[in-house]
Structures are given as structure tokens and as C-alpha cells.
Structure 1
Amino acid sequence: MERKYSKELLNKLVERQETIMIKGVEVLVKNLPDSDEKGAMDPRLYKDMKNQLLIMKYMPKFLMKMDMSVKGVAKLRKMFNGIKSIPIVKKKIEIEHRNVKGEDGNQIPIRIYKSETMRKNAQVLYFIHGGGFFGGSPDVVEEFVKLIVENTDILAVSVDYRLAPENPYPAGHKDCYTTLKWIYNNVENLGGDKNNIFVAGDSAGGNLTQYCTTRDMEDKLGMVKGQLLLYPTVNMAGIEDEYFKWSIDDFEMAPKHRSGIKMMLDVFSSLVGLGEILGTTEIDNDYLSPYKRNPKGLPPTFITVGEHDFLKIESLAYAAKLANAGVETKTVLYKGFGHAYADNVGVYPQSEDCAIEIGKFILEISK
């Protein structure tokens, strides 16, 4: 299928990007490719969401909160698991389905992605999907993973970890770390380089990614070459410090889009307290809120977030914390966007640009 945008917009994203200082560290800002309006939503995103935002405008506030009951979770899963990406990958990508034996004796489904022109002794991308720990699937991010593989000819693996609330914390976290160890021990047989494994994840998958990296450091195994956190949830406890304090005033919103952006931020805020669905009261531990840890010694880290994402302040604060602790950090901020742009390959140029930036980071760090 063809992209819903012209490649010219993809080029304009690069032409119009700029590096600025935020919280004392460099951030690569991807300005809107075809608008100079400050705080505006991307016009393509706004067009797609216009009707939804209009409906939300007249909804009672209590209906806009995320329902975490059994029925509510089922409805949210249906929404979170919807496939939004368009297949734009032209190269043949072989996808192999396997199972990894979990720590609890469970079977963990994984997918292995190889392009027809895969590099010899290829770098490895291990991708962990998001979905609030209770939703999402490898299907949602499959086109994103395939696009990175097409662009770089590296090897990729994705994981279908156990979801809450049926599988309380730390079941999903353990599945992701077990899979990382399996990759490290088996990837050479797949044509990959065990010394160049990059762990990546979006949203809750970013938390699971950081968990894998943290456990790798604690166990002194040296499996992770670098990590990539896409709009990650890393401060579930809302710990405030010199870098982080959430405020609506930190969001630049164009007047014509202000009400819609504020509604989206309000809806997302109801998902912040995920301890209940994870089945734990310890959201301030070092794994669910890795923000509280001393980040010194972490591997090179890539962080990306949207300008209007509820997690923007948290993500930028974490990037600053890492950079100031001496961690090699690259941060990319997409203007005019909120959450989950990895789910929209072929729909928005920013989604494709993000895949390109991730591939560049992996190839640069693995040199």
C-alpha cells in the first residue's frame, strides 16, 4: 500500500528539525513539516481525531476516565489492539514464530524478523510493545519493526509477554527479561551479533525495556548494548525532583487546539495509576519507577516523545537525568503529536521518521 502522505513531508521533517536545550540537555526537535503554528496539532492527526474530539467535548467528565473493571479492560484492549499502521515495507521480511520457555514454566511467544538482505553478524533489535501492561500486542507495532528492519537490514525480535490483570506484576516483566536472555544465548544461530543487542519499547514497553536493562546491569551479564525508550512510563510513582514536576503549563497549545489537547491529557491522566491493574501497591519500586534510580552506568539511550503526550515531561526529565549522569543520550521530540506514533506507520510521516531515527541510533552505537 502507499503512504497517506508524500515523501516530501518526510524530507521536510529533516529540513525543519532543530536542536535546542531543554532542562540543560540537547533535544532534537522535529517541527511540523508544513506548519509554523506554535503548539498546533499535526494537521493530519487533527483531521483524523476531529470527530472524536468533538464527541469528547460533550461527554460528562466521569465517562472520560479509563474504566479498569473487567469489562472496561476488555473494551480498552479492543481499542489498544487495533491495527492502525499501513504496510509500506517493500522488501521481503521473513517472520518466524517461536516460543521461549518462561521462568514460571509458561510459553512466551516471540517473532523473529529477517530481511532478504540481512547483514552478516547483524545488530539485534529486541522490541517490547506497549499497551498499559494490560493491552497491545506485537501486531500493533509489527509494521514499525519491519520498517526498521527494512531500513537497516538488522535482525529483530518481538515478544508477546503475559498481560495484567490476569497475570499480576512481575509476570510480564519476567517474560521480557527471560526473552532477552534467550536472545543473548541463541541469536548467533539466527545470524545476529550477541554483542550488539538493543532493547526497545513504547509506552509501557519502555518501562519493560528499562527493566531488562536494569536487571542486566544488576546481574552483570552485559547483554544490552543500548536501549530505546519510546514515550516511556518510567515514573509511575510521580516522584518529583529538580527535573520533574508535572504541570499543564509545560504544554504549548495553539488556541484552536487547546481544548482538544487538554481533553487528551485528561484522559491519559486516568491511566497513570496502573498499580491496581498490575496487582501491586509498590509502584515506587526501582523497576516500575526506574526514574528514582541513579542512572549512572546505563548503556547509550534513545528517548523520543510527542509534544502533547502526557508523558512528555516525564520523558524529558528522564533524558536530562540520564545525560547529566554521563549516560550517552539522544532525545527526539515530535511537535504536534501526542502518544503512540509507532502505531501509525504509513499514516503519519513522523512515525516513519521515528523508525529512521531508531535505525540510525542502532547503527551508530554499534560501530
Structure 2
Amino acid sequence: MTTLGLVDAEQRNMVASFPAFDPEQDDLMAFRRDLVEGTTALLNSRSIQYEEQLVPGTDDAPDVRIILFHPPKSKRTTSAILYVHGGGMIAGTPDMQAGTLGRLASETGTMIVSVDYRLAPEAPFPGGLEDVYAALIWLHDCAEEMGIDPDRIMVMGDSGGGCLASATALLARDRGKVKLHAQVLIYPMLDLRTGGANAPSDDPTTGEFVWTRAQNQHAWSAVRGKLAADDPRFGYLSPAFMPDLSGLPATFIITGALDLFRDEDITFAHRLWKAAVPTELIVYANAVHAFDLLPSALGERVRHDVLEAVRRLL
């Protein structure tokens, strides 16, 4: 079936022409270039200034590149957001979202640290996750010298970055070195079964555009590598499988009614409520994956909602 007629009218033409990636015949490197170039242009990211540095990786892992967005000097920084970019954990860079992150830092008076984590398949699980966690440890340990309250650090991510943000919150809870203040998950990629034969649900009105079933299964296979289903770390790979979600920080989740991740995101929110985690969930009608990137009234609405949620949580 085609679901184009269900897509927000302002976004319909843009969605129909959005670059697609067919794992069976397209080149991953070309997809990576197209994603970065397209997102950079959409978000006007080249015009944004940021600071760049390397922080130590965990154990024997390589150093991790981060980019920092400082709020205006007139606004006193007391909180920070650790941001994890999207791309299905197989593509993307933090720089491509500089437009969004620079504006978010300015509008919230919050320092934002975005992580250039290693991608799969070159670095399967737990490579990318450990990079994000290493950046969190650095941010927490250096918080006071940067004027940040170490108890007011939020983790935030979109799509595949939403998976890593969620997994980082779980890792922080279980390792006990950092107590996160909140997590914001933008249409997060949480369940590796989605798009496959064993998916818990499969609504044909979801997943036709931007991020498809084939892309999702390809990405999860690349990220998973050889990790066995009975490995105790499996819930950090795919947070939908984490048996216990208690003790997580206050959570804000958004997703789209036409997004492939809709059902797994709703299910995750239900599980957070059952685990007594303060959680807000918004599902936007007529919205495909990454709908917030596209110029439209719907895009402005979700950007406003996310901004207000960040302000409220911090």
C-alpha cells in the first residue's frame, strides 16, 4: 500500500523525495554522504559555530570526538545536554545537526555536548554505546569547572541516537557513576525485531518513508554483530529487551503515527509508566520518521514541544 496520502500535506512532497537507502543494492558510504549533506542543508548547520575536542574513551577504546555548543554568555549555564545524533547507528555525524543544537543551546541556556560515536558495521555493539558513555563520564567529571551542576545533565537523542541515549541512561543507572536528570528520546529506535518476521506488531501504515523495514533490519544486524540473544548485555543493545526499567530518570518521548518505530516507542512508554518512571509521550498524527527536520507547521509544532519539554525537565 502507499501511505503518502496520510502524510502531513505540507511535508508530503518533501517526504516523497527523501533519499532512500536500499541495503541490498545501495552503497552505505553514499547513503552516509547523502544523509549528512541533506540534513546539514535542511538545518542550516554550516552557519553554526561550535567547539571541538577529544575525550578519553572507555578502557582501551580510542578517544571520542565531541562538539560543544555554548549558550550565549548572557545566560548562565547550570545544566547540560549530552546529545546523540541519528542515522540508525550506521550513519550520521553530530555536525550535521549543528543548526538544531546551536539553537537549542541558545534557547535553553544549556550547554550541549554532541558525540561523534563510532558507527556500525565498522564498530558493532558496544562500540558506539561505550563512546557515548565515555562522553557522559567526561561531561560529569568536568561539569563543575564548566559551571554545570553535575546533577543537571540530560541525555537526548533521535532515531538510532535515541537508542543510544536510552541505553546510556540504562548504563548510567547500572554502573552508578552518574545520576542523570532526564532523558529525551526523539522517535527512538528501541526494538531490533521491528521490521522483521518476529516483530511484536507490524502496522502497514508505518515505515513506508524515510526509514523502512529493510533499512531497520539491515542496521540492527550491523550493530548487533555477533551478540547472542542470551548475552546479559542484550538490553543495552536493544533497550526494548531490558527487563527492568525502574530507576530511570524522567523521560520525554515523541514519535509519529506513520513512523516505523511508533509501536515500540508507545510500548516503551507504557513500560516506563509501569516502572514508576515519570514519562510523557506525544504521538503526532500524519508524521513520518524524522518529520521534525522538514519545514512545515508540523515541524514547528514538534520543535516547540521539544523545546518546552527540555526547559521543563531541566
Task: Say yes or no: TM over 0.5.
Answer: yes
Distance in 1, Cα, partners of 2:201 & 2:41: 30
Say whether the 8 Å CA contact 1:93–1:150 is kept in structure 2.
Answer: no
Say whether the 8 Å CA contact 1:147–1:355 is kept in structure 2.
Answer: no
Structure label with greater radius of gyration:
1
Distance in 2, Cα, partners of 1:111 & 1:210: 20
Number of residue pairs the alignment of both structures matches: 298
CA RMSD of aligned residues (A): 2.8
AA matched with 2:221: E
Distance in 2, Cα, partners of 1:324 & 1:188: 35
Calculate the TM-score normalised by the size of structure 1. Answer: 0.73
Q: CA deviation at 1:179?
A: 0.4
Corresponding residue number in structure 2 for 1:6: none
Distance in 2, Cα, partners of 1:283 & 1:275: 13
Q: What do residues 65-124 of structure 1 show as CA deviations (whole Å, max 9, x unaligned)?
A: 423x8x7211221222222424499xx975211111212341211111112245324221
Q: Using a 3 Å threshold, how does the CA distance of structure 1 residues 45 and 270 change in structure 2: closer, same or farther?
A: same
Corresponding residue number in structure 2 for 1:327: 277
Identity %: 24
SS of equivalent to 1:143: helix
AA matched with 1:85: L
Would you tell me which structure has more strand in proportion to its own residues?
A: 1
Corresponding residue number in structure 1 for 2:162: 206
- In structure 2, stretches of 5+ residues that fail to align are none
Distance in 1, Cα, partners of 2:307 & 2:150: 17
SS of equivalent to 2:237: coil
Say whether the 8 Å CA contact 2:82–2:136 is kept in structure 1.
Answer: yes
Q: What do residues 338-366 of structure 1 show as CA deviations (whole Å, max 9, x unaligned)?
A: 1123444xx23433433332332233233
Question: What are the residue-to-residue correspondences of 1:1-367 with 2, within 5 Å?
Answer: 40-50=6-16, 65-67=22-24, 72-82=27-37, 83-87=40-44, 95-103=50-58, 104-117=60-73, 119-237=75-193, 245-248=200-203, 251=205, 263-264=208-209, 268-273=212-217, 274-278=219-223, 279-282=225-228, 285-292=234-241, 293-344=243-294, 347-366=295-314
AA matched with 1:301: T
Say whether the 8 Å CA contact 2:85–2:158 is kept in structure 1.
Answer: yes
Calculate the TM-score normalised by the size of structure 2. Answer: 0.85
Q: CA deviation at 1:193?
A: 1.9
Q: Which structure has more RCO (C-alpha within 8 Å, separation ≥ 6)?
A: 1
Distance in 2, Cα, partners of 1:88 & 1:129: 13
SS of equivalent to 1:43: coil
SS of equivalent to 1:159: strand
Say whether the 8 Å CA contact 2:254–2:282 is kept in structure 1.
Answer: yes
AA matched with 1:314: E
Q: What do residues 240-296 of structure 1 show as CA deviations (whole Å, max 9, x unaligned)?
A: xxxx931326x4xxxxxxxxx77438x610123234312234367111221122211
AA matched with 1:49: V
